[in-house]
Amino acid sequence: MDIQQKKVLGYCSPWSLAAGEQLDVMVSALAPGNYSASLVELICGDSRPHGTGFLERTVSADFAGSYPGREQLLHPGSYALLPELPSMRKVSFCCFLEPTLLARDWQPVVSGGGLSLTISQGRLSLSVGNEEALTLAEPLRLKRWHLLLVTYHAETGRLGLAVRHLGQGSGEIDSAWNEQAISVSEMTLEPGAWYLGAGYRGGEFSAGLNARLEAPRISSSVLDVEAADRLLEAMRPSDPDLLGAWDFSEDIGSSRVVDVSGAERHGRLFQTPTRAVKGVRWDGSAQNWQHQPSHYGAIHFHEDDLTDARWLTDFSWQIPDDLPSGVYALKLVLDGSEDYVPFFVRPAADAAKAKVAYLASTATYIAYANQRLGFSGGIMGNRTPRNPEEDFLLKHPEVGYSHYEYHADGSGVHFSSRLRPVLNMKPKTTPWSFNADTNITNWLKHRGVEFDVITDEDLHRQGAGLLADYRVVITGTHPEYYSTQMLDGVSDYLGDGGRLMYMGGNGFYWRIAYDPENLGIIEVRRAEGGTRAWMAEPGEYFHAFSGEYGGMWRRLGRPPNELVGIGFAAQGFDGGTYYRLGPGASDDRVAFALEGVTSQEIVGNYGTQGGGAAGEEIDRFDTSLGSPEHGVVIASSEKHRPGMLRVVEEIHMSQPDLQGTKVRADMVFFETPVGGAVFSTGSISYAGALAVDDFDNDIARITNNVLDRFLDETPFHYPE
């Protein structure tokens, strides 16, 4: 199948806006010519034939028109900028270095003043200007700490490079310093910024280091190896010749690198390298970087870190006062190729609110941003890309990774961002996360329900106050990633009598942390157990952004079962199945939900993923995990396909029961103590069945009934 080449690509910031706020739009034209921009309301992005198909509505906007295209490039790779240093006739640079990938031709360690130190095919190489001057014959050791020292003395013309390997455990010993020096032409090092993890190659600035660095020091004197040893060992070095000594264990939650020399040359990080990682001093005695910061004095740089594309703005638009809350997109078209750039319009703080709020799972959208699981050998398969977005992702790793992938050096991707093109957050793509969620907004639109759209980012900022005005809050199909503030907000809302419709599966699963400097970036630490693409390194389970212990909310004492009655039970991507109505369906407390349902046995035997509303990722009612004892299981799925396997966190033996009775989706209802209630569907695939037969089906009927009752102001009676 021929796939239309993408010729235009864009992103916008922020994702959530209210009237009067400004949307900035960044566009890259990948082919010559002008592109057109227009505004559409996205009603349904799911283009599969079982429902309504793709639906959009063009909306008048004053920015609509033609714009000159220009290509804007992506430059991945994290680095640190160390501010202005003076011109120098003598200099020494030293630091600790742990390389994490050696098979590269050029990895910049430090550059400045006309000198640059790189790793080339595992060996340290020192250059003056554009000319390689000195390369050590002895290779570096992968994932082992080293001390390194660079020196230059203009009067003698001596350029020196030295490295010493530090032993690990009881089986390795420290090596002696390996020193080498040559004579070069006399020069004065230029004033200006120095960089860690970046430099100039062929006249172009580039980042590309895969390594951990710790304790960089720059001195205006020529140090010998003994002096370098002493300087590196001191956490707060005191030396009149020090131009800068940066301690990465300070301000770990920020992009700031702190100079502790007294010179106040504080630096800045770009593209969010990983902090709160083990440094050279880590000995296992501390697992929390806040308890022993000196053990976490390293920063892990990656050649493929990308959390901010840093494109120039093509145009900006102020949200008009009369634009209703909803899910919108900028539609960009160039030479037959189109790109949709979604965003969300929430009601203004002082505006009248609808009774229903749709809570868009933007944290989860970011976690999955640019994931390639479905067509790159991941857990969702290894099929051929089937749309321009997937094809582009496979060919262009520079757009950055999701939380489900690995960096080039094999480490898990801790940070993901909306500040870049997100290829899989678009209509007419694989119905997962954002695109699957448009089945819910489509259902609400079809019913004529007035609703507001709010987002995870709003919930993180405002907590339960954001939800307080709404009688009913409806989630997306997969609200998997939750910060503490978000979870507190939903919990407090329910505690105050709110009504929640949890319309998906595998929700409220991973704890995340938002970047306190920029809420467009989130962090995950996949600690302890969990069904996960990668595992955090031992000793690195605490988030850098928030200092909180990472991992599953289930392991953190707040299982989703306590919040919404069900929790993640199994996942499988080889087709869905149906629900069978259980004994709970006869309970008078849920009679409202089943009014008009024609079947007495099976519901949802149609829809998505090969024919069933229960599929992909499913949740189970389980009182041992905190599900409320008075909860009513209305229906449970059965006869799942072979690929539907129990979650890893419930597998404790080498011969586990991967299926069995605990592999099921439970449709659940329960009341809360102050007149509120929760309805949970237990399946990601559920929403994909709503539009079958033009919304004339049992799944839609049950969901309509629940929404109608939840909108009724009559309090629910909490059973004694």
Q: Which amino acid is at 154?
A: A
Tokens of residue 344, six digits:
């969300």
Looking at the fold, whether 274 and 147 belong to one and the same domain comes out as yes
Q: Evaluate whether residue 472 is within a structural domain.
A: no
Contact between 215 and 246 under an 8 Å Cβ cutoff? The reply is: yes
Determine whether 538 is exposed, middle or buried from the number of CB atoms within 10 Å of its CB (0-12, 13-18, 19+): exposed
Looking at the fold, whether 83 and 65 belong to one and the same domain comes out as no
Q: Evaluate whether residue 703 is within a structural domain.
A: yes
Q: In this predicted structure, what is the pLDDT of residue 1?
A: 45
Helix (H, G, I), strand (E, B) or coil at 435: helix
Query: Which H or E run contains 524?
Result: strand 518-524
Picking from 325, 341, 357, the residue at the C-terminal end of a domain is: 341
DSSP conformation class of 497: T
Q: Which of 416, 376, 647, 406 is nearest to 513 (CA)?
A: 416
Contact between 78 and 302 under an 8 Å Cβ cutoff? The reply is: yes
Q: In this predicted structure, what is the pLDDT of residue 655?
A: 63
Residues of the chain with pLDDT under 70: 1-2, 376-383, 608-610, 655-657
Looking at the fold, whether 584 and 688 belong to one and the same domain comes out as yes
Contact between 559 and 536 under an 8 Å Cβ cutoff? The reply is: no
494 vs 589: CA distance, rounded Å:
19
Q: Evaluate whether residue 31 is within a structural domain.
A: yes
- What is the number of structural domains in the chain? 3
277 vs 294: CA distance, rounded Å:
11
Looking at the fold, whether 718 and 579 belong to one and the same domain comes out as yes
Looking at the fold, whether 245 and 104 belong to one and the same domain comes out as yes
Looking at the fold, whether 131 and 234 belong to one and the same domain comes out as yes
Looking at the fold, whether 99 and 23 belong to one and the same domain comes out as no
Looking at the fold, whether 673 and 603 belong to one and the same domain comes out as yes
Q: State the residue for tokens 């329900």.
A: 449
Looking at the fold, whether 246 and 327 belong to one and the same domain comes out as no
Strand ranges for 143-210 from DSSP E: 146-153, 158-165, 178-183, 192-196, 198-201, 204-207
Sheet holding 567-577, edge to edge: 614-620, 567-577, 645-646
Tokens of residue 704, six digits:
């309509």
Q: Which amino acid is at 504?
A: G
CA–chain centroid gap for 153, Å, is 46
Looking at the fold, whether 205 and 327 belong to one and the same domain comes out as no
CATH number reported for the structural domain that contains residue 134 in this entry: 2.60.120.200
pTM score above 0.85: yes
Q: In this predicted structure, what is the pLDDT of residue 550?
A: 97
Q: In this predicted structure, what is the pLDDT of residue 380?
A: 54
Nearest-10 Cα torsion for 456, 462, 468, 472: 0
Picking from 341, 361, 390, the residue at the C-terminal end of a domain is: 341
DSSP conformation class of 675: S
Domain span including residue 88? 79-301
Q: Evaluate whether residue 401 is within a structural domain.
A: no
Q: Evaluate whether residue 186 is within a structural domain.
A: yes
Strand ranges for 154-308 from DSSP E: 158-165, 178-183, 192-196, 198-201, 204-207, 211-219, 242-247, 256-259, 267-270, 274-277, 298-301
**Residue positions counted in the chain:** 720
Q: Which of 189, 211, 221 is nearest to 116 (CA)?
A: 189
